[in-house]
């Protein structure tokens, strides 16, 4: 294993040319491919030097991620993405000390592309391999930049596939203390957007229209779920009925059934207020549980993570709730909220320090225990 904290350059012979490579510290190359983003990142001593992401636009016309197309796109992207991340960081591939990759959870075909690539690289370069849990990495995105939370902290992780409250005791010790019993928060945004006729992924569009709307105009019900768990499927149903009635009632009643034309013109004339009202309800469902978790655990360092933490309403209300309740609140930079390899790199860095390595027999899995 190759570790150096010195700032030095080495000249190495590579064929006919001399290769200049830096040896600045513990250098991790990280790969993320759990869903529809192919990403690679280089970090040195926990500092992110590059974070390159290739988005897959091929899914847009299908209204959701098509697993087979996602793995094919990962196969096309993986080599140029890793090359670009190394180049942007100023590193040659043999200048890295370890390779971290997303092992789970996610789409199995997508995970396999990044996983097998990482294993082959580790074997070829004879470097240690670090298997990373995608959801733990979302949480640790909060450790990338200053200000960083103190341990223990709570993290509300909200993505397209997960909604969790995580109690994080150390970079390698965390547990889920609350989670959704049905849809994830990102799904609630995307499914609501679909009902409004907006293209996939609709979450960012709901956010965009909500910024011009009145969040108090329409009242959607808040589910009564015990403990720290969440539920979003009832909200989706109430939005469906509300639109079928062209806003006349939240309750489904045959006599209120609007025609398709009435429904479409109701949406068109009220889009901003509908989006603002839906967003406000999703945000209050999330934040009321975070407040409960803080009261129950006594923990006041609280973070956001995951794609939905890019939502402007959630960010604003989270910070306001933090001020009111004397919390220290943390939100990763925008580029570290949605899927990215920098969060895999920072997690890989902490796992390296803890000596948590994987061997080459490790396999990617669609689901994973914590
Ligand atoms: O974490 P992420 O990038 O991928 C998963 O691991 O799922 O999260 C993607 C989710 C999608 O549901 C997307 O609609 C949602 O995050 N999202 C947003 C916003 N930006 C992304 N939802 C609401 N408002 C946003 N600004
Ligand atoms: Zn994610």
What's the pLDDT at 23? 59
Any ligand 1 atom below 6 A from CB of 189: yes
pLDDT at 257: 80
Residue 107: predicted pLDDT = 95
Mutate to test the pocket of ligand 1, among 107, 114, 189 (most ligand atoms within 8 A of CB): 189
pLDDT interval class at 252 (50, 70, 90) = low
339 lines ligand 1 (CB under 6 A): yes
φ/ψ region of 32 (left if φ > 0, alpha if ψ in -120 to 50, else beta) reads beta
Gap from CA of 205 to ligand 2 centroid (Å): 19
Residue 33 CB–ligand 1 contact under 6 Å: no
Ligand 2 centroid, distance to 264 Cα (angstroms) = 33
CA 308 to ligand 1 centroid distance, Å: 4
Length of the chain: 370
2 band by pLDDT with thresholds 50, 70 and 90: very low
Domain ranges for the chain: 6-142+338-353, 148-331
Would you give the distance in Å from CA 237 to the centre of its chain?
Answer: 25
pLDDT tens across 146-199, in order? 999 999 999 999 999 999 999 999 999 999 999 999 999 999 999 999 999 999
Q: In the CATH hierarchy, which fold is given to the domain comprising 148-331? A: Nucleotidyltransferase; domain 5 (3.30.420)
In the predicted model, is pLDDT for residue 15 greater than 50? no
Q: How far is the CA of 148 from the centre of ligand 1 (A)?
A: 23
Is any ligand 1 atom within 6 A of the Cβ of residue 103? no
Q: Is 111 in the pocket of ligand 1 (CB under 6 A)?
A: no
Domains 6-142+338-353 and 148-331 share a fold: yes
Buried b (16+ CB within 10 A) or exposed e, 18-49: eeebbbbbbbbbbbbbbbbbbbbbbbbebebb
Q: Give the span between the Cα atoms of 246 and 250, in whole angstroms.
A: 10
pLDDT in tens, 115-127: 999 999 999 999 9
CATH topology of domain 6-142+338-353: Nucleotidyltransferase; domain 5 (3.30.420)
């Amino acid at each position: 294993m190759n570790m150096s904290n010195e700032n030095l350059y080495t000249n190495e012979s590579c064929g006919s040319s001399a290769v200049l490579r830096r040896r600045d510290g513990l250098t991790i190359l990280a790969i993320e491919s759990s869903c529809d983003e192919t990403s690679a990142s280089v970090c040195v001593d926990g500092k992110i030097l590059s974070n390159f992401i290739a988005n897959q636009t091929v899914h847009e016309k299908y209204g959701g991620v098509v697993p087979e197309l996602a793995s094919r796109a990962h196969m096309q992207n993986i080599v140029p993405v890793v090359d670009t991340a190394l180049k942007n960081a100023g590193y040659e591939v043999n200048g890295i000390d370890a390779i971290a990759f997303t092992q789970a959870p996610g789409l199995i075909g997508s995970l396999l592309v990044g996983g097998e690539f990482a294993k082959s690289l580790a074997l070829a370069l004879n470097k240690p391999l670090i298997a990373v849990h995608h959801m733990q990495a979302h949480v640790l995105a909060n450790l990338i930049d200053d200000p960083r939370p103190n341990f223990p902290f709570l993290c509300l992780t909200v993505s397209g596939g997960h909604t969790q409250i995580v109690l994080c005791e150390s970079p390698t010790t965390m547990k889920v203390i609350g989670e959704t019993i049905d849809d994830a928060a990102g799904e609630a945004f995307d499914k609501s957007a679909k009902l409004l006729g907006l293209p996939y992924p609709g979450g960012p569009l709901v956010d965009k229209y909500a910024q011009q709307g009145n969040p108090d105009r329409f009242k959607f019900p808040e589910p009564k779920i015990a403990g720290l768990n969440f539920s979003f499927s009832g909200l989706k149903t109430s939005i469906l009925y509300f639109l079928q009635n062209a806003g006349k009632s939240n309750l489904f009643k045959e006599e209120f059934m609007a025609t398709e034309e009435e429904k479409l013109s109701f949406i068109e004339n009220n889009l901003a207020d509908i989006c603002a009202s839906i967003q406000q309800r999703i945000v209050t469902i999330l934040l009321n549980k975070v407040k409960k978790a803080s009261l129950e655990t006594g923990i006041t360092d609280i973070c956001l993570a995951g794609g939905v933490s890019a939502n402007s309403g959630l960010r604003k209300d989270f910070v306001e709730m933090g001020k009111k309740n004397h919390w220290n609140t943390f939100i990763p930079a925008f580029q570290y909220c949605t899927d990215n390899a920098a969060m895999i790199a920072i997690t890989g860095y902490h796992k390296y320090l803890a000596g948590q390595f994987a061997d080459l027999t490790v396999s990617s899995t669609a689901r994973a225990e914590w």
